[in-house]
Structure 1
Amino acid sequence: MAVSFSELGLDLPILPTTAVGSYPKPPELKEARRKYLRGKLEEEDLRPLEEKATRDWIETQEEIGLDVLVDGEMYRGDMVAYFARNLEGFEMSGLVRSYDNRYYRKPVIKDEIRWRGPITLDYWKFAQALTDKPMKGVITGPYTMMDWSFDEHYPDRRAACLALARILRKEVEALVDAGAKIIQVDEPAISARPEELPKFAEEAMRIVTENLDAYFITHICYGAFEFIYPEMLNLPVDNFDLEMSNSDLDLTGLFKDEPFTEDLSFGVVDVHSHVVEDEDTVKSRIDRAMEVLEPEKLWIDPDCGLKTRTKEESIEKLKRMVSATEAARDELEV
């Protein structure tokens, strides 16, 4: 790690539990957001609903017993479009299918990208003030922002990616200056073109993270990890948050051949399934994780954000995750 937890003033248990980022929005907030996007509601009218939903999810995470919390992203729609709408240089195009029957408006880079000011800071501060537990700052990374946008301004993908990295660095600096100790950079697209990882994806992440007093996580999900491992370990972060359960933990085989050298947030519940895993199943996944990594290097979380699940499913999955982790901790103490 670039910095230790003690240096950051963090007191985390072994096998810290957390969530990736998003939670399901309540029906009244979903309807309000639809009205807002159709121009029938002002942005300030969303804020009370977003704050209430955020407060509810903070209370729920506290009750469940998570160790590191997230704000739940009640104020965000799509992870890329949300940032693009808050940066100069972007315009929004039509709907593009991302997966299943889910769509997002693909951003278009029309001009030089500029930072207007903090994008996530206000809600991070609001959420952190509701709890004594550490609150992750969560941003979408420059490679994914570049890959999931049309570029009509920069000469090539590298130039667009590095421009975004310099802008997102400002967002991270604002979070760190405000007291955020744990920053997560979401990069689900990082395995899309393996040849670009050493060419400029690593450089972009370095721009975002270097020389800052924070613990950095990168979340990478549903990608072709076998094509970027172990090279992805060169990304300058402290922790890799990986989807594991949806792929039947097959990545652990790679880790036996090429040891995992950083901390690992190990996904133990499948967020694309309505099935709520029983505690024994989740515990077996944690045990499998400890076969390839020391417990001191492991975090426990879902595969990805939970926004596609119902509130009830999300809560039950997190409860099973926390209870299974507590059982694993008890065994480590024996």
Structure 2
Amino acid sequence: MTRLLPTSTAGSLPKPSWLAEPEKLWSPWKLQGDALIEGKQDALRVALQEQTCAGIDIVSDGEQTRQHFVTTFIEHLAGVDFNQRETVRIRNRYDASVPTVVGAVSREKPVFVEDAKFLRQQTKAPIKWALPGPMTMIDTLYDAHYKSREKLAWEFAAILNQEARELEAAGVDIIQFDEPAYNVFFDEVNDWGIATLERAIEGLKCQTAVHICYGYGIKANTDWKKTLGDEWRQYEKIFPKIQQSNIDMVSLECQNSHVPMDLIELIRGKKVMVGAIDVASHTVETPEEVAATLRKALQFVDAGNLYPCTNCGMAPLPRAVARGKLQALAAGAAIVRQELTA
């Protein structure tokens, strides 16, 4: 990862229509059994090819093997009953039917490790793997056992650490923890949220990242954004503590957002994955628009620490739109890279 301004995505890419219903979160699989395993691997190959052809430097699986960025991980854990469902408010934004924690949670076997090994076999490029963060996991469940958000978060942190260590051993270069909940529960983030995240990365030698965005481009999230006013200053409440943490990289939302760019100054010294692609719009950015966002960010982050990225995952977007956005991201980064090295 010696290249200046290495590009990557925040996580998900659209799934092919033969694998799952496109442009939809929690879309059910269209295949079963061995055909599903093969179909997921084929989709992963396609997602990798899309990134490689677009010129993305740090590649991922596009989350092709999971239905949802949080619940697919939880599905593999003991102590959670997916048949016993309750309706909860997700990140104070929308109601969802979620599984129930009915006993002590534990990870009886690896969740994504075989998928990561498969991705590693397909490419020599640096690879990034996303896991849900402890706070976002507890916010996507009904807890009938621990009755304490903090206690459950510490349990999940230990489980995530087991998975992360095995992902590192499988050849993953960057492990990213998705924590959109950090933009909502500020007191908890500062009291114990970042501490649980540091537990999740304990002992890792690979790069670690936390991804904090304003959510997928779904209606519940875009409606919420309209209530946030002209300046979105949520990051201001949590960045000072993140700056002091052991996390290497911070992934944040910038393109078409009302986040004041100078807030990045609060995490000076960290590597910053600057979201230069809007995932809540079908409009494909021009390379020059991407470049303009990156130039603004460079006022507050050293060039060697700037990692152009997408705002969030692109699972709900049409495949052609996502492809165009990947190409724009790579082309925009190339413009600024040339300016910096000229």
| Both structures adopt the same fold (TM-score exceeding 0.5) | yes
Deviation at 1:103, TM superposition (A): 8.2
Identical aligned residues as a percent? 29
Q: C-alpha offsets along residues 213-270 of structure 1, whole Å, 9 cap, x if unaligned? A: 110011111183233232332342100000111314x3313245x4633110000010
Name the residue aligned to 2:260: 251
Q: C-alpha offsets along residues 274-296 of structure 1, whole Å, 9 cap, x if unaligned? A: 11111211111111111111101
Name the residue aligned to 1:7: none
Alignment of 1:153-168 (within 5 A): 153-168=145-160
Whether 1:228 aligns to 2:238 is yes
- Supply the AA of the counterpart residue of 1:59: Q
Name the residue aligned to 2:176: 184
Tell me the distance in 2 between the aligned counterparts of 1:260 and 1:156. Answer: 34
Q: Is the 8 A contact 1:68 1:133 kept in 2?
A: yes
Whether 1:331 aligns to 2:339 is yes
Whether 1:61 aligns to 2:89 is no
Whether 1:129 aligns to 2:121 is yes
- Paired residue secondary structure (1:138): strand
- Paired residue secondary structure (2:181): coil
Deviation at 1:327, TM superposition (A): 1.0
- Paired residue secondary structure (2:329): helix
Tell me the distance in 2 between the aligned counterparts of 1:35 and 1:327. Answer: 40
Whether 1:209 aligns to 2:201 is yes
Whether 1:238 aligns to 2:248 is yes
Query: Which of 110, 114, 125 lines up with 2:106 in the alignment?
Result: 114
Name the residue aligned to 1:6: none
Deviation at 1:104, TM superposition (A): 5.8
Q: Is the 8 A contact 2:88 2:97 kept in 1?
A: yes
Q: Is the 8 A contact 1:246 1:303 kept in 2?
A: no
**More displaced stretch, 223-232 vs 12-21:** 223-232
Q: Is the 8 A contact 1:169 1:209 kept in 2?
A: yes
Q: C-alpha offsets along residues 167-207 of structure 1, whole Å, 9 cap, x if unaligned? A: 11110011112222211111111232211123211221111
Alignment of 1:6-155 (within 5 A): 11-31=1-21, 42-92=32-82, 93=85, 105-155=97-147
- Supply the AA of the counterpart residue of 2:102: K
Aligned residues between the structures: 318
RMSD: 2.4
Tell me the distance in 1 between the aligned counterparts of 2:9 and 2:192. Answer: 29
Rate the CA distance shift 1:105–1:171 in 2: closer, same or farther, 3 A: farther
**More displaced stretch, 228-237 vs 288-297:** 228-237
Name the residue aligned to 1:268: 276
Tell me the distance in 2 between the aligned counterparts of 1:135 and 1:173. Answer: 15
- Supply the AA of the counterpart residue of 1:271: V
- Supply the AA of the counterpart residue of 1:90: V
Deviation at 1:60, TM superposition (A): 1.6
Q: C-alpha offsets along residues 74-109 of structure 1, whole Å, 9 cap, x if unaligned? A: 11112221111110011122677869xx98642211
Residue segments in structure 2 that go unaligned for 5+ positions in a row: 216-233
Q: Is the 8 A contact 1:81 1:104 kept in 2?
A: no
- Paired residue secondary structure (1:230): helix
Alignment of 1:297-312 (within 5 A): 297-312=305-320
Rate the CA distance shift 1:333–1:206 in 2: closer, same or farther, 3 A: same
TM, length-normalised to structure 1:
0.88
Tell me the distance in 1 between the aligned counterparts of 2:2 and 2:96. Answer: 36
Name the residue aligned to 2:327: 319
Tell me the distance in 2 between the aligned counterparts of 1:118 and 1:163. Answer: 16
- Paired residue secondary structure (2:177): strand
Tell me the distance in 2 between the aligned counterparts of 1:191 and 1:221. Answer: 7
- Paired residue secondary structure (2:328): helix
Tell me the distance in 2 between the aligned counterparts of 1:86 and 1:298. Answer: 35
Tell me the distance in 2 between the aligned counterparts of 1:311 and 1:22. Answer: 12
- Paired residue secondary structure (2:236): helix
Tell me the distance in 2 between the aligned counterparts of 1:36 and 1:281. Answer: 36
